[in-house]
Amino acid sequence: MTKPEPVKVGYARVSTIEQNLDMQITALKQYGVHDAMIFTDKMSGAKKNRPGLQAAISTAAETGGEFVVWKLDRLGRTLLGIIGAMQVFEANNVLLVSLTERFDLASPMGKGMFHIMAALAQMERDLIRERTIAGVKAARERGALHGRPQTMTPERMEKAAELALAGVSATKIIPVMKAMPGPSIAKSRVYQWVREFKAQQQAHPCTIDGKTARRTK
């Protein structure tokens, strides 16, 4: 008795509505993904709430088949985001296949690459946390000297650092800061903190996806 083919779930993403998904969708179909099993998003990989990706992951987890992407960076802009998705696949016995990188979690090489990427992602987390803690300490010292309230709480600083490193602009970080628990915070304070954080990254960049985390305006 022949073993049935695993269900193939495809995911395609472009960063803006002006960009075209056709090339990715064509590649997914050529691999054997049916139209009904192709999920898409037209938004930045920095956004955590991507309906198409969430639906694709849920479907793949239910079927226990293959999750197919044209390229690994379709899962997210940062190594942390990609690893997070890969861990969900591994926990649900879903095979991740990247058509461009020829990446297959079912193969020994694919599994080895996954563990290397996971180790790099953990190092990235540690670097972000280390620099955030240093920033919190410096901010507290400045606040103690000048007698001003600490509106950028440690929790806000850690979240703002994560978003800034993912390429999110200060303008988009502001509403996230305002929604978090803590004292009322002014837009100018968030702009100032992000500007100082980016300056610190320019002086001591950490690595994300093989590139330095330097950001320019």
Residue in the structure block whose two tokens are 């803590």: 182
Q: How far apart are CA 121 and CA 124, in angstroms?
A: 5
Measure Cα distances from 113 to 30, 110, 120, 212 in Å.
25, 5, 11, 21
Tally of CB atoms within 10 A around 33: 23
Q: Are 25 and 12 in contact (CB under 8 A)?
A: yes
Residue 20 Cα to chain centre, angstroms: 21
Q: How far apart are CA 188 and CA 30, in angstroms?
A: 50
Residue in the structure block whose two tokens are 């946390």: 129
Burial of 108 (0-12, 13-18, 19+ CB in 10 A): exposed
What is the DSSP code string of 1-17?
Answer: -PPPPPPEEEEEEESST
Catalytic sites, residue numbers: 15
